Every structure is written in structure tokens, then in C-alpha cells.
Amino acid sequence: MKEKLIDLFEYTYHFNQKMITVISENISKVDEKTISLINHTLNAQQIWNSRVLGEASFEVWQMNPFENLQEINQQNLKNSIQIIESSDFDQRIEYQNSKGTKFENTIFEMLFQAINHSTYHRGQINALLKQNGIAPILTDYIFYKR
């Protein structure tokens, strides 16, 4: 299980990096929503990691300096792998969402949420890239494995 989760986070990292690169190469053509979504995608993984690790987290829609996004993505991967390698996936973690509502989920559920959430938003970013005349990236997992 650990190896499969690490593979999924490496996939997430890989295509986040590609998205950051494409956005950077086409910065004059992308809109604010695209920049906001790539930030949100990275912020969300950082937030889920921080909930498990008991660390301070980003804000959900925080705008980070664009030049820091690759580093944030790399730190997210490092922290996600640390969690995978050192955690009991069935352990339940209590946390508050951005509105202050309390929830409790297993570490596995939180990790899977981070992966699934980023996949969803990369799809949105691809749609925005296409609308702005930029070729979307094929981000399906199978393309990563080929």
C-alpha cells in the first residue's frame, strides 16, 4: 500500500510541475483563475499534510509568489512521503476546515483526498489553458506510467 501511495504522490508532483512549467511559459496568456487554481491545488496538499503533521498550514486560496510554486510542490511531495512512511493509515485525525468546522478522518482518507483533489483541479486548469489558446497537458495517470 505504501508504495502505491508514494507512486500516486509522485504522479501528482510530476503533473503539478508540468502545469507550473506550462503556466510559466505562457504567463502572458493565462488568466487570474488559472494562477489561483494552481496555487489552490498546491495549498490544499500542504493543508492536508499539515493536518496530519500538526503543523501550521497555508490558507486555502492563498496566493504564493509564482517563483515559489515548484519549491512548494517539492516540499508537498517530501511531506506526503514522510507521512506515508511513518503513519498508521487507520489513525484518525481531528481537524478543522477553513470555516472552523471540526471533522475527523483517517490518514488514508486525508492522503487520498489530497491526490484526488489535485487531479480535479488540474482538469480545471487544463480547460482554462485550452480556452486561452494553450495546449492542455495530458495528465491522466496512464500517461504518467507509459
What is the per-residue pLDDT across 125-134, written as a single tens digit (0 to 9) for each?
999 999 999 9
Q: Binding site: residue ranges?
A: 40, 117, 121
Q: Name the residue with cell 486561452.
A: 132
41: confidence class by pLDDT, cuts 50, 70, 90: very high
Confidence of residue 4 (pLDDT cuts 50, 70, 90): very high
Phi-psi region of 133 (alpha: psi -120 to 50; beta: other; left: phi over 0): left
Q: What is the mean pLDDT of residues 110-123?
A: 98
The CATH number that applies at residue 45 is 1.20.120.450
**String of DSSP letters for 40-87:** HHHHHHHHHHHHHHT-----TTPPPPGGGHHHHHHHHHHHHHHHHHH-
Q: What is the pTM of this model?
A: 0.95
Domain that holds residue 37: 2-145
Q: Could you tell me if 22 and 137 are in contact, meaning their C-beta atoms sit under 8 angstroms apart?
A: yes
Q: Is the dihedral of CA 63, 67, 72, 77 positive or negative?
A: positive
The pLDDT of residue 123 is 98
- 17: three-class secondary structure by DSSP: helix
Per-residue model confidence (pLDDT) at position 126: 98
Binding residues for a divalent metal cation: 40, 117, 121
Decide if 111 contacts 45 (C-beta within 8 A).
no
Mean of all residue pLDDT scores within the chain? 97
Overall domain count for the chain: 1
